[in-house]
Amino acid sequence: MLDSNNDARDAFRAYLTESFQEDERLRAGWLSVELGQALRGGVGWERVKAKMKDPEVLPEVPAMDSPEVQKLIDTMVRNPVNYVECISYQLFEEGPSLGIHAVEVEGPFEMIEDEMAVARKRWQARFLGSQKVTAETADPAVAFEGFLTRAFRRPAEEAEVAAYVNLFNEHVAAGYTREEGFHLALRTALISPQFLYRETDPGLLDDWALASRLSYFLTSGPPDNKLNDLAERGKFSQPKVLADQTKRLLNDGRSRDFIDQFTSQWLGTRHLEDIMPDPRLLNFNSGDRADLITETELFFQEILKKNFPISTFIKPDFTFMNQSMAKKIYDQKGVKSKGLVRVSLEEDSPYGGILGQASVMMATANGVDTQPVLRGVWVLENVLGDPPPPPPTNVPAITPDTRGAKTVRDLLNAHRDDESCFRCHQMIDPLGYVLENFDPVGRWRTHYPIFDKTGREREGHLVDATGSMPSGHPFAHVNDLKDYVVEHIDQFGECLSDKLLMYATGRTLTYSDRESLKPIVHRNLQEGGGFQDLLIELVQSEVFRTK
C-alpha cells in the first residue's frame, strides 16, 4: 500500500517535484486550492484545473525551493491517498500515452457464437424446418406449411399457406427484411383462432382433433410425433390404438401436469395458496402447504398408475407423508423421511383418501374456522355428484361465534329454521357435520378449541359429528361417511367420470352425456376394473370423441 511503502512515497515525491518543476501553472494551481479529501478523484482535478486557469492565481509563482512548495509536497506525500486519485485523472487526460509497437492475436480463427446467437439459430431452424436454410434462403411456402401444421395441430390447408406467403411477400415488398417478414407471419399465426382454439367444428372429432384432445388432456401440451404420425395415417381413432396411446401418455412423465392440474381443480387444493391457517392452531409455512398438495397428487398418481379400484379414493390403506406432516398433522409415529413416502394406515384410521386428507379439509375451511356447509356442499358436488342449488340471495351468511358460546351446529340449526333453506340443508349439513372432527388444517380433534386473550388454548364444546341423510342413513364418524360412499360407489364413479370429462373437453356435461357414462362406470365396477381402466374407457366414449 502507498501509505506504508517508503519506496512508493519516495517515487511519489520525485514525481511531484518533477511535475511542479516543469509546469509553473500546475504548481500555482495546487498551491491555490484547499488541500484535503475534497481533492479526491475527478472532482478534485477539476478544482485544480480551475485554479490553473484563474487569472487571480499568484502572479509570481513561488520557486521550487521555496518553503510554500516544499510544504505542499510534504503534505501530499504524507497523505498520498487524498491526492493520488486526483492526479490519476490528470494523467488520464494529459498522458503520458501508452505506446503500442505491435499486437499479436493467437486464435480463435473462427467466429464463436454466443448463447443468444445459438438459441436464435435453433429457433429459426425449428420454424423453417431445417438447419440448412436461413431466413434469406428458405422457401416461405415450405416453411409455412410445416409451421402451420404444427401450430394448428392438423395439416395446413393450401389456401392457408398461400395467405401467409402473401402476407410475407407484402411485408418484404414494403421494405422489410425477409426475417421480419417471417416474424410477422409467425405472430399472425399465433393470434389466429386456429392456434388459440381446439376442436372448433361440431360433431365427431377427426383423427387430428382427437389426438390433440387426448394430448392436452393427459399432458397439457400439443401432440407429439407419435400421435401426429398415427393421425396422419388415419389410425388414431381405432379403439385399440386410442387405448394404447392413452396408456403410453399416462406412463409418460408429462402426465404429471394432468395429475397436478386435475387434482387441484377437482379437490380444490389450488385454493390452499389463498389460505393462511390461524397461527394459534399450527405453526404453518409454505413448505407445509406444498407437502399437503403433494400428498394428494402422489395419492392420485398411485391409484392411477397401479390401476387400483376407484373405491381406493375413499377407503385406502395408505397415504403419503413426511416427518413434518406426520408430526404436525397426522400424529403418525415412525416416519423419519424428510421427503414424502408411502405410509400404511390402520383400518379404522380417519385419515387417508379424499375424505380424510388434510389438503381437502384445509381447502374446505378458511384457516380459522371449520365450515360444515362448505364441506357438505363439497361432498355433494365432488364425491356424490349431486350439487345443491345456489342459496337464496336474501338469506345472510352464517357468522361464527368467536366467543365459543355456541357450536357450529347451534348456529346452523337456527339457520335451518328458514323454510327456503331447510330442504337443501337437510342434505348438506349431515355431510358437513360428520367432517367436523377435522379442524381447519385437517388435524383430528374431539373438542372445539377456545383461546384466551394470551392465545392459550383450552377445550371447548365436544364435537358432535352425528347426523343422518334424508333417507335416514345415520352418520356418527367420518368412517361412516366413507362406508356410505363405498356402498354407493357407482354414484362416486359417475361423479368422478363427469369431472374427468369436463376437464378433458372443457365444457359442462349435459344430462344425456351423464346418462351415457353410467353403463361405462357400471361395467368397470362389475368387472373389477381399476381407475386406469375407467379412464381409458372414458377416452373411448362418445362424450370424449365428440365436440
Q: Please classify residue 161 by burial: count the beta carbons closer than 10 Å to its beta carbon, then call 0-12 exposed, 13-18 middle and 19+ buried.
A: buried
Taking the CB of residue 485, how many other CB atoms lie within 10 A of it? 21
Neighbours of 204 (CB within 10 A): 12
What residues have CB less than 8 Å from 261, skipping those under 6 apart?
220, 503
3-55 per-position pLDDT tens digit: 556 788 888 889 889 888 888 888 888 888 877 656 777 888 888 888 888 87
Tens of pLDDT, residue by residue over 399-449, are 554 445 466 776 666 556 666 666 777 888 899 999 999 999 999 999 988
Return the pLDDT at 131.
Answer: 63
pLDDT single digits (tens) 317-355: 999 999 999 999 999 999 999 999 999 999 899 999 999
Computed from CA positions of residues 310, 311, 317, 323, in that sequence, does the dihedral angle turn out positive or negative? positive
pLDDT at 28: 86
Residues 158-212 pLDDT 10s:
999 999 999 999 999 999 999 999 999 999 999 999 999 988 888 999 999 999 9
CA-CA distance, 544 to 528, in Å (whole number)?
23
Q: 440 preceded by cis ω (within 30°)? A: no
Judged by average pLDDT, the poorest of 281-290, 460-469, 485-494 is: 281-290
Q: Residue 135 phi/psi, 5° resolution?
A: -60, -25
Q: Has residue 58 got a pLDDT over 70? A: no
Cell of 239: 379403439
Model's pTM, two decimal places? 0.74
- Classify residue 203 by burial, with Cβ atoms within 10 Å: 0-12, 13-18, 19+: exposed
pLDDT recorded at residue 402: 45
pLDDT of residue 1: 47
CB under 8 Å to 68, separation ≥6 — which residues?
Answer: 31, 62
The strand pairing partners of 444, in sequence order, are 438
